[in-house]
């Protein structure tokens, strides 16, 4: 029977594991908690004495007999990979060829990408030209700063790598 002041056993064992806590302080003065801790300690000792049983002597032989009937893992991996690839290709082609909507959608998207990409590039070029004509000095300084920082960073990165002999 546990007295009302005794902490929850899980709290007590958490405190024991942590090595501190009010539960531990209580246990130091409570014969009931001390007895439970001692029972757990003895139980642990007994549990540590148990051992795994020896497997049947023919276990390895039986496993290897079943393994012998299997394809090698490398071959299985290749077959699985090729199967997935073939299924993906067939599904993709099937979707495009047998669905007019999908084919038309894919073509429209491709055409839009080409047109929009060209317009974006031209807009960027025009913006850069306008910037250069209005503030060539600061832009040149900024570009030089970025270039030199990048070169310095690359040099530092290359410097920390292993030497050819270490590699």
2-9: Cβ within 8 A, 24+ apart: 2/32, 3/30, 3/32, 5/30, 6/30, 6/32, 6/33, 7/33, 9/36
* 10 forms part of the interface with other proteins (CB under 8 A): yes
* 39 forms part of the interface with other proteins (CB under 8 A): yes
Residues in contact with 64: Cβ distance below 8 Å, sequence separation at least 6, in sequence order? none
Q: Which one, 62 or 129, has the nearer CB to other proteins?
A: 62
* Residue whose entry in the numeric block shows the structure tokens 């000792």: 45
Which helix (H) or strand (E) segment holds residue 149: the answer is: helix 136-159
* 26 forms part of the interface with other proteins (CB under 8 A): no
Out of 56, 137, 159, 161, which residue is the one contacting other proteins (CB under 8 A)? 56
Out of 1, 19, 28, 64, which residue is the one contacting other proteins (CB under 8 A)? 64
Directed axis angle between helix 100-134 and helix 73-98, to 10°? 90
- Least distance (Å) between residue 72 CB and other proteins: 3
* 145 forms part of the interface with other proteins (CB under 8 A): no
Out of 32, 63, 91, 135, which residue is the one contacting other proteins (CB under 8 A)? 63
Q: Which one, 4 or 51, has the nearer CB to other proteins?
A: 51
């Amino acid at each position: 029977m546990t007295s009302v002041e005794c902490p929850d056993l899980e709290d007590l064992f958490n405190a024991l594991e942590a090595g501190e806590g009010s539960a531990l302080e209580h246990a130091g003065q409570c014969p009931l908690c001390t007895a439970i801790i001692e029972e757990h300690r003895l139980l642990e000792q007994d549990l540590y004495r148990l051992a795994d049983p020896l497997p049947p002597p023919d276990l390895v032989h039986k496993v290897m007999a079943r393994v012998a009937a299997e394809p090698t893992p490398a071959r299985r991996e290749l077959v699985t990979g090729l199967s997935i690839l073939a299924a993906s290709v067939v599904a993709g082609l099937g979707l495009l060829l047998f669905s007019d909507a999908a084919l038309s959608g894919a073509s429209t998207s491709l055409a839009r990408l080409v047109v929009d990409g060209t317009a974006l590039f031209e807009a960027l070029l025009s913006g850069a030209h306008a910037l250069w004509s209005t503030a060539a000095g600061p832009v040149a300084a900024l570009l030089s700063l970025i270039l030199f920082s990048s070169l310095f960073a690359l040099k530092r990165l290359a410097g920390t790598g292993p030497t050819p002999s270490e590699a």
